[in-house]
Structure 1
Amino acid sequence: MFVEERILTLFKRNLHHTLTYWSVFFSFGLCIAFLGPTILDLRCQTQSTLSQITWVFFAQQFCLLIGSSIAGVFKKTLFRALSALFVSALIISVIFAIIPLCHNVLLLAIAMAVSGMAMGIIDTIANIQLVTIYQKDSAVFLQALHFFIGFGALVSPLIADPFLSEKGCTVGNVTENVTEIMHHLRFSLRNIPMNMHNMTEDHELHVEEEESSVSYAFWIMAFINLPVPIAVLYLMYRERLIPCCPSGTPQLLDKDELAMENQANEGPDTEPKDHEVGGHGDIFSCCQNDNLRGLPVSFFMIHILGGMVLFMTDGIVGAYAGFVYTYAVTPPMALSHKTAGYLASIFWAAITAGRLLSIPLSYRFQPVRLLMVNLAGVIVTVLLLLIFYTSSVFLFVGTCLCGLFLSSVFPCMLAYTEDILDYQGCATSVLVTSAGMGEMVMQVLVGSIIQSEGSYSFLLCGMIIGCIGFVLFFGLLFFERLHRNYLTGTSKKSAMVEEPATEVRPEHKEETESS
């Protein structure tokens, strides 16, 4: 069979949990992608400048990073984990519903900060929960999990597109030049026509006012997302985790039972579900763990280097999705705004397709091999984009290839590092936090470089970041070998200590009997 019977059995046993975690990641993707195409309508709604409205992006990303960092505190029991997922998914629906009511940019930034916090909690908890359930078989399920981010990121712009205004609104004195406007439109996922002939010499932008109906798009997304918290709540009911409704059929195996099934393929058991997820906590508790004393340097370097690789690769994802439009509409490429508007959508579509394709590949190949191919593919693709920097056709081809290669780096790295550490470390929390930090920092860094050095530096930054990530990955391979040698040596020493003890006892017994 294409998939082992053991994995199919394990998947069927945890089908309800797995589908629920996948659904909350759909909420994550739905929330992360809607700001791009709706940014001008929200700007009109809040009567703010482009420089002010872009603080909304920072508020969301910054709080997403905080949410990812602190989410581990909810992992002590299954009740806390599912409760946090339920509240976070419900918050996303509420935020979608109240965004049309935010007529001040500060209120909008606060709303997006709250949604970012919820997204960060979802990101960490869903990843850790799947790793805890499937452990060494988690790679294929993590690929499917991250596919739903891309799927949600595709659905969100499609919902918003029919409701976006084409003419915009009247704004006052805007003292931003054309380059700055391009910089602030870097997140656009669709074509946003701008009549640059309406720019006066005093940099006053006057656009015909048009009533926006984008509020309907947000209400539709809130309604579409509403089944997700309901699904989490139903899972809590099935697991008897709702105090007022103590009925239902428990489904999830605890950690010890799951390990026994993975090793001996034993039958199901129905022990209490409020088990503690050992080894996985928030970053702060990981750093204060007393069990870290006496561990080798390789243990810490695996966490650091794995996080740094994702810092670079997720930084490329954020920077490429954010600035490929700016790069395409400025010289030397100088594409039309309508044509360049498709690039970010193609990039997200390639990431979604790549994650779908990686599901069977993760079953057939080890994560380390997929990581090697993906990281090398990113470097080669960006190098070809640098060589053919005047070819608009290859820009589209390269965007698609770049999305395909970047799509599965995060789930593969997560499965790889957790496997090295035997699912006892804090790798998931570290990697999720590092990836979020990289996406936030690289967007700011690359954006400032493009503004000062020109659009061509966009590809140079991508090339440099990719090469640094590849070098860090080889460092990770080196310390992975050291760590496995350390574990082998430790197990041999333990065997040598136990073996004499088992041999002395029979001899001592014979001497006693003869005497």
Structure 2
Amino acid sequence: MKLPDERVWSLFKRHWQHTLTYWSVFFSFGLCIAFLGPTILDLRCQTQSTLQQITWVFFSQQFFLLVGSSLGGLFKKSLLSSLSALLFCTFVISLVFAAIPLCDHVVLLSVAMAIAGSSMGVIDTIANRQLVKLYQKDSATFLQALHFFIGLGALVSPLVADPFLSDDNCVLGTNLTANSSSSSWDLQHLRSSMAGQGAVPRHISQYPLHTEGVVITRVSYAFWIMALINLPVPAAVLALMFHERLLPCSSSSQPLLDKNSPSSKSHIMDSEEGHGSLFGCCHPAKVRGHPASFFLLHALGGAILFITDGIIGSYAGFVYTYAVSPPLLMGHKTAGCLDSVFWASITVGRLAFIYLSCKFTAPKLLTFSLVGVILVQCLLLIFYSSCEFLFIGTCVLGLCISSVFPSMLAFTEDILDYKGCATTVLVTCASTGEMMLQLLVGSVIHSQGSFFFLLCCTIASFIGFCLFLLFLYTQHVHTSLYTDLSENTEMKEKPKIEGS
């Protein structure tokens, strides 16, 4: 019998080109998800818009990411359609990067971000689904690695952008003041407050930045560099399509998967009740014949990821706001490091969980992660006035919460025997939570004060753990129902076999 490490390595060697390609498209996803915060003020100058107007691009990206996630399941009929969609979306992301410097109006920039968000959503659903289909019961390890590449891309794009960001107001108005250092401080403060994933800063109207005048910004170079960095990703997808003989120039040959893999049909063609779009999951043909626990597992799994991805988005978006407010009153440069620490710890956590997922089952990893999130949030509440513990807590929170999405996705698909709509439902719910919980927490901070940021995240973490306990109970009931059903089926078929 092969050890888990040996089996995983053997599977990887068999499917290495598929796996590396799906990992690379998630690097493209990460590049696109993290660049907006650091560059948003230079983009404000480029479009000569107000801060209130430019923050609509955050909503445009997040909303269409949700739309793309729900529609990504439409590309389900074959490996060709899935890879074609990935090829198109990754190439579109490079085109969007290249086109952003040409967007001289906030509406054009919002349209560009909507296109990028839709592509990101499709990538999110397809890459997760294809890896789950490829590895099935061994998918947890490879999903952890997949989501590590999001963090890697999210670390690279701000590093690329940083040398090209303006140090001072990048629109020089006609009434310039001599106090340029104050203007530079305001710009750095605003950039740090907007550096969170999808963050929308509060009280931004108090900063009188110019909207008319001479535009001085070099951020275009950052976007062109990111467009070039991303180009190898669609090239990798194209290479995989050529390797699998899915391109027109190789159409005379039988697809390679058909020749080499006995399970190729399940990889190339989904079953009739397979992973469809979010709306296709509600089709009466899919609903019929399944117990209530089957659908409750979808709902609970989606709700858990709604909460946990919402916590990630809210913490990344508002930890800076909390840090610079009373009682902490951190300096803006110090507080600006918190978001980087959080994303770096998530990336390191996903790297560590690649190994841990080979050693421990998904339920154990999820229990450890969710309990860890609760403990860290409670300690952050207790030591709410400690700047040092905020950094420690941010780091540990990122490590704990990093593995929840890939572990939950692998666990749910395993329970449902890889025949439902779990991937599409879970990815869509996670995207929805990331958008909606940020809006909710932002509204609470705006009305009640920054301390309620920690309180909201703590309450959400308790709700997420309670939902997970309910998920485990539903899984037990669901497994018992299917065991009884299979035993009854065998008893009915046995006489027929004996009499034949």
TM-score (norm 1): 0.88
Match of 2:142 in 1: 141
The answer to whether the 8 Å contact 2:40/2:191 transfers is no
Q: Distance in 2 between matches of 1:78 and 1:236?
A: 9
- Percent identity, please: 58
Match of 1:266 in 2: none
1:240 to 245, 248, 252: 245
1:482 to 464, 477, 481: 477
* Cα-to-partner distance string for 1:136-168 (whole Å, 9 max, x where unaligned): 010000000000000000001000011100102
Match of 2:269 in 1: 275
Match of 1:317 in 2: 312
Describe how 1:283-302 pairs up with structure 2 within 5 A.
Answer: 283-302=278-297
1:107 aligns with 2:108: yes
Q: Distance in 1 between matches of 2:450 and 2:91?
A: 40
Cα distance, 1:8–1:453 mapped onto 2, change above 3 Å: same
SS in structure 1 at match of 2:75: helix
SS in structure 2 at match of 1:75: coil
1:445 aligns with 2:443: no
Amino acid at match of 2:352: L
Q: Distance in 2 between matches of 1:465 and 1:148?
A: 26
The answer to whether the 8 Å contact 1:315/1:439 transfers is yes
Match of 1:267 in 2: none
Cα distance, 1:211–1:242 mapped onto 2, change above 3 Å: same
Q: CA deviation at 1:12?
A: 1.2
Amino acid at match of 1:188: A
SS in structure 1 at match of 2:327: coil
Q: Distance in 1 between matches of 2:266 and 2:398?
A: 42
Match of 1:30 in 2: 31
1:187 aligns with 2:194: yes
The answer to whether the 8 Å contact 1:43/1:50 transfers is yes
Match of 1:20 in 2: 21
Q: CA deviation at 1:69?
A: 0.3
Q: CA deviation at 1:476?
A: 0.6
Q: Distance in 2 between matches of 1:88 and 1:289?
A: 31
1:212 aligns with 2:217: yes
1:457 aligns with 2:452: yes
The answer to whether the 8 Å contact 1:310/1:438 transfers is yes
Q: Distance in 1 between matches of 2:196 and 2:110?
A: 20
Q: Distance in 2 between matches of 1:206 and 1:504?
A: 89
Q: Distance in 2 between matches of 1:407 and 1:366?
A: 16
* Cα-to-partner distance string for 1:429-470 (whole Å, 9 max, x where unaligned): 000000000000011111111011100000001011111111
Q: Distance in 1 between matches of 2:191 and 2:289?
A: 49
Amino acid at match of 1:55: W
* Cα-to-partner distance string for 1:479-514 (whole Å, 9 max, x where unaligned): 100100001100110121122333445xxxxxxxxx
Cα distance, 1:203–1:328 mapped onto 2, change above 3 Å: closer
Q: Distance in 2 between matches of 1:443 and 1:51?
A: 17
The answer to whether the 8 Å contact 1:351/1:404 transfers is yes
Q: Distance in 2 between matches of 1:97 and 1:476?
A: 44
Q: Distance in 2 between matches of 1:203 and 1:325?
A: 17
SS in structure 1 at match of 2:248: coil
SS in structure 1 at match of 2:195: coil
Cα distance, 1:498–1:3 mapped onto 2, change above 3 Å: closer
Q: 208-217 or 377-386, which moves further after superposition?
A: 208-217
SS in structure 2 at match of 1:252: helix
Q: Distance in 1 between matches of 2:253 and 2:194?
A: 45
Q: 238-247 or 108-117, which moves further after superposition?
A: 238-247
Amino acid at match of 1:364: K
Q: CA deviation at 1:6?
A: 3.4
Cα distance, 1:189–1:483 mapped onto 2, change above 3 Å: closer
* Cα-to-partner distance string for 1:40-75 (whole Å, 9 max, x where unaligned): 111111111111111101100100000000111111
Match of 1:224 in 2: 229
Q: Distance in 2 between matches of 1:253 and 1:397?
A: 51
1:370 aligns with 2:365: yes
SS in structure 2 at match of 1:244: helix
The answer to whether the 8 Å contact 2:41/2:191 transfers is no
The answer to whether the 8 Å contact 1:44/1:171 transfers is no
Q: 279-288 or 116-125, which moves further after superposition?
A: 279-288
1:395 aligns with 2:393: no
Amino acid at match of 2:161: A
The answer to whether the 8 Å contact 2:83/2:237 transfers is yes
Q: CA deviation at 1:366?
A: 0.5
Amino acid at match of 2:15: N
1:117 aligns with 2:124: no
Amino acid at match of 2:262: E
Q: Distance in 1 between matches of 2:426 and 2:482?
A: 22
Match of 2:48 in 1: 47
* Cα-to-partner distance string for 1:172-212 (whole Å, 9 max, x where unaligned): 89xxxx99x9899643169xxxxx9xx99x96446997721
Amino acid at match of 2:147: H
Amino acid at match of 1:396: F
The answer to whether the 8 Å contact 1:66/1:117 transfers is yes
1:427 to 409, 422, 427: 422
Q: CA deviation at 1:252?
A: 3.5
The answer to whether the 8 Å contact 1:378/1:405 transfers is yes
Cα distance, 1:130–1:147 mapped onto 2, change above 3 Å: same
1:467 aligns with 2:462: yes
The answer to whether the 8 Å contact 1:328/1:334 transfers is yes
Cα distance, 1:378–1:469 mapped onto 2, change above 3 Å: same
Match of 1:69 in 2: 70
Amino acid at match of 2:34: A
Q: Distance in 2 between matches of 1:491 and 1:396?
A: 52
Q: CA deviation at 1:255?
A: 12
Amino acid at match of 1:471: C
Amino acid at match of 2:419: Q
Q: 363-372 or 240-249, which moves further after superposition?
A: 240-249
Q: Distance in 2 between matches of 1:249 and 1:501?
A: 40
TM-score (norm 2): 0.91
Match of 2:88 in 1: 87
Amino acid at match of 2:194: F
The answer to whether the 8 Å contact 2:196/2:318 transfers is no
Q: CA deviation at 1:240?
A: 1.2
Amino acid at match of 2:317: G
Q: CA RMSD in A?
A: 2.7
Cα distance, 1:362–1:248 mapped onto 2, change above 3 Å: farther
The answer to whether the 8 Å contact 1:186/1:326 transfers is yes
Q: 288-297 or 119-128, which moves further after superposition?
A: 288-297
Q: Distance in 2 between matches of 1:481 and 1:447?
A: 37
The higher radius of gyration belongs to: 1
Q: CA deviation at 1:257?
A: 2.1
The answer to whether the 8 Å contact 1:238/1:247 transfers is no
The answer to whether the 8 Å contact 2:145/2:350 transfers is yes
Q: Distance in 1 between matches of 2:145 and 2:382?
A: 34
Q: Distance in 2 between matches of 1:248 and 1:189?
A: 48
